[in-house]
Chains A and B, each alone.
Chain A
């Protein structure tokens, strides 16, 4: 029963129920619950470490030292945060439409591979700018097509997008391996199978002032641009409506199919861009080390940021820092390299369990008790 017109609800309108206060309360809810989830998972992980006879204090100290303590660790952190921001966007954009797409890893790998493949005939040609423009465009196009394919399958064939994106990731890695170990393998490279490497003078350089490549700037710009697109334009609003109720959106005359396709194309382009920078600024070539799990970290980051493009940036930096500290944790504490993966998995599980508190805590929702009946 609604009580919109009942006198009680009208009389309770005080300062605390004003529109502004409700926005503040909702905003702090979206901040407080994920933070609490992070704290709880840190606590659980500490208990876990204690059970193994390791010191949690040392662990978090090393995370601080390896991730944020020095200028060197900061650049290490930001180096990892940049691709994670982009793969998190690849999750957050479709999420706005109610789609759970987790294909960032595949689009990153295939985008990076495309960039490396395009570069092969152009290496050393003396036209690096031309080469990079082609590489960039190729990586974005292939990444977009890869996730867009899953979007189209979802929209027109009803194929579950979560499963299809993950399958496409496996296929993407197989495609890269097929070429990297076959037709496009550089015979001059004695180490692991790779495509021909860019000359070091042709690689994308560092940002002025810090020891991080330009990918970070592009990632930050992408986060802001996606925020504007999804939260400040009619396109973004239409996506939100379609994500809330596709049938109502169709009844309103919104082109739901086109929205899904465009949004998934943009999502894939973001992940493809991450792949481009991994090749053009970090590895210089495509090989198995492109598939290092940035796509999967991106999933967690997007969920922790509540699919908000601006919140993705700090969360990506946090997890970039944890990943950057992985090496020092391994060496100093004798923990396996899967420690970071385990911590991520644990955080993810706790975070999803915490979703149940949205709209149910009286402190953030003054009327929660009456609304829930």
Chain B
């Protein structure tokens, strides 16, 4: 295989991979962004992602409609978020520790009930073909886009607009920046955080639905390996901005697609190393961004993460 062809194959595979891999990152990151903007961190979204993947697959299998699966995943994510917020509102409870517990709990529930769904095949989400104009089958395949990806982009833009321009967005930001100010203004702080965490869980659940119903497109226990957690780190890197969440998710998607892309042209050396690329990238991004003045400036004031 000559070098030019190999390179374009890798680029096509990375582009396609990035588009596919990005979506769950994007949904979890947007959900976490929303939660953190209210002044709380939910580390349990990894568990929510796994639970969402399992419920989506189960409901899609049971009803025959993948979209019902997506909705069910969102609803279970909503419940997980509600559970997190309900426990965290008790005085003296640490939100990070509750997140760790919910990570284990969500995974446990998903594995427990997911056993019967490992074998059967559920209907998967359809895709939209956007690559016909390239006339190159590799790029055509890469540009098979799932509607959820487009919904995710629209959601990011909508959230960016809503946070800036709506009353609800303003109230959410006040709650996250200063609980005292929000109380003084008469806003129900705990209710706002409950809603932000629950809706954030909904998004993460939908992200999980993408994993099991589109790419990789089946349910098994190794489906998510830290994507939910990386998305939490990604929010810090994106400095709590929905549009930057989108860019960061694309970057993570490309990093995640590196291993499979190299494999597609026969480079199998260091397969595990390239699979670790997203984790290493996350760690370096955290090292680069966590202590920076910009990150500290943009962080919601009530967030325990950056203290």
Instruction: Spell out A's residues near B (CB within 8 Å).
Output: 100, 102, 153, 157-160, 162-164, 166-168, 170-171, 174-175, 177-178, 181-182, 296, 299-300, 303, 336, 338-339, 341-346, 348-349, 351-353, 355-356, 358-360
In contact, B101 and A162 (Cβ under 8 angstroms): no
Question: How would you classify the secondary structure of chain B's contact residues: helix, strand, loop or mixed?
Answer: helix
In the bound complex, what is the Cα–Cα distance between A349 and B101 (angstroms)?
5
Which residue of chain B has the shortest Cβ distance to A179 in the bound complex? B272
In the bound complex, what is the Cα–Cα distance between A70 and B97 (angstroms)?
36
**Contact partners of B115 in chain A: CB under 8 A:** 336, 338
Contact A166 to B276, CB < 8 A, known contacts A158-B291, A348-B105, A352-B97: no
**Contact partners of A300 in chain B: CB under 8 A:** 101, 104
Q: How far is the CB of B305 from chain A (nearest CB, A)?
A: 6
**Contact partners of A178 in chain B: CB under 8 A:** 270-273, 276
**Contact partners of B282 in chain A: CB under 8 A:** 167
Q: How far is the CB of B130 from chain A (nearest CB, A)?
A: 33
In contact, B112 and A336 (Cβ under 8 angstroms): yes
Which residue of chain B has the shortest Cβ distance to A91 in the bound complex? B100
In the bound complex, what is the Cα–Cα distance between A132 and B282 (angstroms)?
36
In contact, B94 and A159 (Cβ under 8 angstroms): no
In contact, B91 and A356 (Cβ under 8 angstroms): yes
A sample of 14 more A-B contacts (CB under 8 A), given A181-B272, A300-B104, A342-B108, is A153-B286, A167-B229, A167-B283, A170-B225, A171-B276, A174-B273, A178-B276, A341-B108, A345-B107, A345-B109, A349-B83, A349-B101, A352-B87, A355-B90
**Contact partners of B112 in chain A: CB under 8 A:** 336, 338-339, 341-342
In contact, B111 and A167 (Cβ under 8 angstroms): no
**Contact partners of B280 in chain A: CB under 8 A:** 171
In contact, B96 and A341 (Cβ under 8 angstroms): no
In the bound complex, what is the Cα–Cα distance between A254 and B280 (angstroms)?
33
**Contact partners of A157 in chain B: CB under 8 A:** 287, 290-291
Q: Nearest 7 pairs between A and B by C-beta?
A: A345-B105, A338-B111, A174-B276, A342-B108, A348-B101, A356-B90, A345-B108
Sort chain B's interface into a size bin.
35 or more
- Mind listing 27 A-B residue pairs with CB under 8 Å? A100-B94, A102-B100, A157-B290, A160-B305, A163-B286, A166-B226, A167-B226, A167-B229, A167-B286, A170-B226, A171-B279, A178-B276, A181-B272, A182-B272, A336-B112, A338-B111, A338-B114, A341-B111, A341-B112, A345-B105, A345-B107, A348-B100, A349-B102, A353-B87, A355-B97, A356-B92, A356-B93
In contact, A346 and B283 (Cβ under 8 angstroms): no
Q: Does B306 contact A (CB under 8 A)?
A: yes
**Contact partners of A299 in chain B: CB under 8 A:** 100, 104
**Contact partners of B189 in chain A: CB under 8 A:** none
Q: How far is the CB of B283 from chain A (nearest CB, A)?
A: 5
**Contact partners of A344 in chain B: CB under 8 A:** 104, 108
In the bound complex, what is the Cα–Cα distance between A158 and B98 (angstroms)?
21
Q: How far is the CB of A249 from chain B (nearest CB, A)?
A: 15
**Contact partners of A339 in chain B: CB under 8 A:** 112
Contact A174 to B272, CB < 8 A, known contacts A163-B232, A341-B111: yes
**Contact partners of B291 in chain A: CB under 8 A:** 157-159
In the bound complex, what is the Cα–Cα distance between A160 and B283 (angstroms)?
10
